[in-house]
């Protein structure tokens, strides 16, 4: 309804604009004719004719010329909007509404390129929900989905503006911390780990406390994505092996 009203209003405005343009153009012509000897009364008749002609010719001009152009412009705007929405959906995890593996990987590659170019530090962290399989087995997959959503929200809310987080796969989350060295990066994610451990997760039938384990590593110029992720995975493995609910940082290489 609003769209229809908007289109009607736009059409009326365009027609009025055409009327004014045609009227002024014809008025100039009639004024020129009057300067060549036409009487005042004759000029008044011609002025009336000019206005009438403007009103008659405006609608055909609008519908034959301007309206098709306006519709084509609207189609292009809609196509661009749909393309942007498709791009957004393509990099968004439908469950947690944060970036999916593809989206966070693209974000990481961009951060690596920036760190390489400007020689700024870059730290990444891989987080994994402890004993997540037991949650699904005991309380069901709906409860597991609630946990994933809550953890995603906790991570996203705790990170700074330039940082990124995405669901890397299953119950794993990748955090990208640009302009951040390993030591401050470890402190940031350890605060996040602590906040998750204090959160009360609603599983539908009861509320429980859960923990996450995190592996942290710093990007070294010259590394590729596979090498960097291997260091993060190794640090996460050590955190799991070390008893869970801890942060393990790999050595600066």
Active site residues: 171
Which of 175, 172, 197, 196 has its CA nearest to residue 186?
175
Q: In sequence order, what E strands does the chain have?
A: 122-129, 164-169, 172-178, 200-202, 207-209, 212-218, 247-249
Angle between helices 67-90 and 2-34 (to 10 degrees): 150
DSSP one-letter code for 87: H
Q: How far apart are CA 174 and CA 190, in angstroms?
A: 14
Helix (H) or strand (E) holding 56: helix 40-61
């Amino acid at each position: 309804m609003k769209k229809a009203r908007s289109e009607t209003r736009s059409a009326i405005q365009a027609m009025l604009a055409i009327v004014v343009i045609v009227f002024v153009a014809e008025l100039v012509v009639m004024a020129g004719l009057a300067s060549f000897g036409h009487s005042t009364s004759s000029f008044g008749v011609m002025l009336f004719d000019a206005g009438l002609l403007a009103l008659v010719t405006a609608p055909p001009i609008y519908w034959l010329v301007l309206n098709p152009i306006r519709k084509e412009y609207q189609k292009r705007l809609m196509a661009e909007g749909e393309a942007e929405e498709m791009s957004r959906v393509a990099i968004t995890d439908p469950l947690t509404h944060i970036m999916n593996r593809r989206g966070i990987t693209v974000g990481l590659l961009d951060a690596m390129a920036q760190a390489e170019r400007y020689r700024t530090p870059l730290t990444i962290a891989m987080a994994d929900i402890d004993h997540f399989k037991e949650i699904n087995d005991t309380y069901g997959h709906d409860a597991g989905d609630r946990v994933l959503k809550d953890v995603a929200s906790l991570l996203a809310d705790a990170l700074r503006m330039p940082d990124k987080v995405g669901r890397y796969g299953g119950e794993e989350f990748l955090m990208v911390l640009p302009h951040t060295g390993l030591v401050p990066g470890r402190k940031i994610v350890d605060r996040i780990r602590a906040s998750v451990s204090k959160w009360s997760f609603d599983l539908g039938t009861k509320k429980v406390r859960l923990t996450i384990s995190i592996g942290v590593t710093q990007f070294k110029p010259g590394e590729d994505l596979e090498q960097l992720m291997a260091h993060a995975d190794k640090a996460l493995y050590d955190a799991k092996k070390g008893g869970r609910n801890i942060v393990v940082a790999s050595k600066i290489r």
